[in-house]
């Protein structure tokens, strides 16, 4: 079987050698013109990237500025906990998929210094970096495994784990459609031991990665630095009015070596020439539908965008070491429980919501639910769960839950539903957010705090049917500005009249960021029996599939 796979892969490479042209999805446009005004850009790299930027080598920084990009970069020793030291493929989870991601990426967005030998001639346009280029160095082309390995989580540098990691970091990219992320493939090695694996993986990144994950946002792009450096007739460029990704030279190793595996000046300059028009195309595609543009705005008539007034009792918030008071536990996110699924405004293409199990941060036990969201202006998103049968919670005074703000939202609601699908009534309360970030607080909501939403019949009436509760939700409406953030929820339960939150002396510690991604892998979810899912998407073998969620879609239709 292995021999047959090798023969099939060899046939594919021979076919690609004659004609391998990058496929252009219908939603993408091709505009190779540079921006009209300077745009801030940052490049995450090590020594190969430094040589490429160098005015006396690849000249990338000079070419970027001629095309109206204001470049900064990171290198060894840069950033929070010297994260700049770590740019291998497995390290991208720490950058883009860990509990430290908000801190790391805020530093990336704000960085304005030069850490490589190039001169800047443009004036700083101000604001944050809008474009993030990131690249691993040539040792990452020594990928173990087989060329056709599927995505699989692990710790080794192999084809399956590399695919898994790139699938995982898409989860973060979809929460930041206001930024453009450009993957620069790792350069080739002169040693051909793993060359076929490197070729197959980079072909997957260019041709299959986003398509397999059904990722349609234009804020992620790939430039095949690897292919450009494998031969003088191998290209990833814009020519003749189209993008082409061509493999004419039948080799998978470095064609432009210096005294070692670093690409030489000729190879770097070839890459610069091919990259700039491609970057312009990536930028223009993204800018045409970025969240700040009119094209991304949903219809003005959207009732979920209305703000529910915060009335009645105020939340009870506990210190950092809090756990919930005793009461009727509804969700602890440790055992088999009803699905949590997401509903988003389909009219706002940049709105994204992800509800997943998190093992890095828990208020109690070992797991919580993490919600990552990016809600376009005048849009909405909700993470909901519906019971198989109505719950009688009339013996309780209300509902409480544990809340940890990792990246605080602009606004957040608790929703309580009564009635079956088609006759559902929605009662909501705007949650007053704790002042602390990164610490657990207990939020209590009494039944009298909940009001019928204004776009339903009897809008504004006080909730009075705790014996008929059919579901719960956390809602994230957006007014005139994007509402994005990352939160964790744990131990949703009822509480009795007069009950106050309890405390424990030793709250559970978060797992190290380098070992535990911010969201558990799909394999971990299956092993624990949890059935938490993400909106619009659900994990499958480490990748993402676009699926309709019938129960939540029904709730979404009511909100629209």
The whole-model pTM stands at: 0.54
Which of 306-320, 340-354, 476-490 reaches the highest mean pLDDT? 476-490
Distance CA 337, CA 539 (A): 18
With residue 494 as reference, give the H or E element that holds it: strand 483-495
Strand partners, 493: 329, 400
Q: What is the mean pLDDT of residues 260-271?
A: 93
Distance CA 245, CA 205 (A): 12
User: Nearest Cα to 532, choosing from 404, 386, 416, 369?
Assistant: 369
Distance CA 55, CA 275 (A): 16
Distance CA 184, CA 169 (A): 15
Contact 405, 434 (CB under 8 A): yes
| Domain regions of the chain by residue span | 30-290, 303-559
Q: Which tens digits make up the pLDDT trace of 30-83?
A: 899 999 999 999 999 999 999 999 999 999 999 999 999 999 999 999 999 999
Of the options 1.10.10.10, 2.60.120.430, 3.40.50.1860, 1.10.540.10, the CATH number for the domain spanning 303-559: 2.60.120.430
Q: Which tens digits make up the pLDDT trace of 193-229?
A: 999 999 999 999 999 999 998 898 999 999 999 999 9
CATH code at 30-290: 3.40.50.1110
Distance CA 491, CA 41 (A): 42
| Helices and strands per DSSP (H, E), number in the chain | 12, 23
How many CB atoms lie under 10 A from the CB of residue 442? 26
Q: Which tens digits make up the pLDDT trace of 115-163?
A: 999 999 999 999 999 999 999 999 999 999 999 999 998 878 999 999 9
Q: What is the DSSP string of 137-190?
A: -GGGG--BS-TTPPP---SSSBHHHHHHHHHHHHHHHTT-TTSEEEEEPPPPPS
Least reliable range by pLDDT among 47-51, 122-126, 485-489, 520-524 = 520-524
């Amino acid at each position: 079987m292995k021999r047959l796979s090798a023969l099939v892969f060899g046939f594919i490479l021979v076919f690609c050698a004659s004609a391998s042209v990058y496929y252009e999805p219908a939603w993408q446009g091709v505009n190779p013109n540079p921006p009209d005004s300077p745009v801030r850009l940052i490049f995450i790299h090590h020594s190969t990237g430094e040589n490429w930027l160098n005015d006396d080598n690849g000249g990338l920084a000079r070419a970027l500025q001629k095309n109206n990009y204001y470049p900064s970069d990171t290198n060894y020793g840069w950033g929070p906990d010297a994260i700049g030291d770590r740019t291998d493929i497995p390290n991208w989870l720490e950058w883009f998929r860990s509990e430290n991601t908000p801190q790391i990426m805020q530093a990336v967005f704000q960085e304005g210094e030069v850490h490589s030998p190039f001169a800047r001639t443009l004036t700083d346009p101000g604001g944050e970096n809008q474009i993030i280029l990131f690249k691993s160095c040539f040792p990452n082309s020594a990928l173990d495994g087989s060329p056709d390995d599927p995505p699989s989580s692990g710790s080794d540098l192999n084809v399956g784990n590399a695919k898994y990691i790139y699938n995982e970091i898409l989860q973060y990219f979809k929460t930041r459609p206001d930024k453009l992320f450009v993957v620069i493939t790792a350069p080739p090695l002169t040693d051909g031991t793993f060359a076929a694996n490197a070729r197959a993986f980079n072909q997957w990144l260019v041709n299959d990665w986003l398509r397999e994950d059904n990722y349609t946002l234009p804020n992620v792009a790939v430039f095949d630095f690897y292919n450009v450096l494998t031969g003088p007739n191998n290209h990833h460029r814009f020519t003749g009015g189209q993008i082409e990704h061509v493999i004419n030279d039948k080799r998978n190793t470095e064609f432009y070596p210096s005294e070692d595996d670093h690409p030489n000046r000729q190879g770097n300059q070839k890459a610069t020439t091919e990259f700039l028009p491609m970057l312009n195309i990536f930028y223009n595609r993204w800018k045409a539908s970025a969240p700040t543009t009119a094209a991304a705005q949903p219809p003005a008539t959207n009732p979920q965008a209305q703000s529910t007034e915060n009335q009645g009792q105020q939340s009870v918030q506990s210190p950092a070491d809090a756990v919930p008071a005793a009461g009727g536990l509804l969700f602890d996110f440790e055992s088999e429980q009803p699905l949590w699924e997401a509903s988003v405004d389909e009219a706002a293409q940049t709105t994204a919501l992800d509800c997943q199990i998190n093992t890095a941060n828990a208020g109690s036990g070992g797991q919580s639910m993490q919600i990552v969201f990016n809600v376009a202006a005048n849009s909405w998103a909700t993470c909901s769960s519906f019971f198989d049968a109505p719950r009688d919670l009339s013996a309780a005074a209300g509902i409480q839950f544990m809340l940890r703000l990792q990246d605080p939202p602009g606004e957040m609601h608790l929703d309580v539903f009564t009635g079956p699908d088609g006759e559902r009534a929605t009662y909501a309360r705007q949650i007053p957010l704790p002042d602390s970030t990164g610490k657990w607080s207990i939020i209590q909501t009494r039944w009298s705090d909940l009001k019928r939403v204004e776009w339903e019949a009897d809008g504004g009436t006080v909730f009075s049917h705790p014996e008929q509760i059919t579901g719960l939700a956390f809602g994230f409406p957006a007014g005139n500005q994007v509402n994005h953030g990352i939160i964790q929820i744990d131990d949703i339960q009822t509480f009795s009249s007069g009950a106050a939150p309890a405390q424990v002396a030793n709250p559970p510690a978060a797992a190290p960021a380098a070992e535990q991604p911010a969201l558990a892998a799909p394999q971990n979810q299956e092993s624990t029996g949890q059935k938490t899912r993400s909106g619009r998407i659900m994990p499958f073998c480490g990748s993402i599939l676009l699926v309709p969620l019938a129960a939540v879609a029904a709730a979404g239709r009511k909100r629209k």
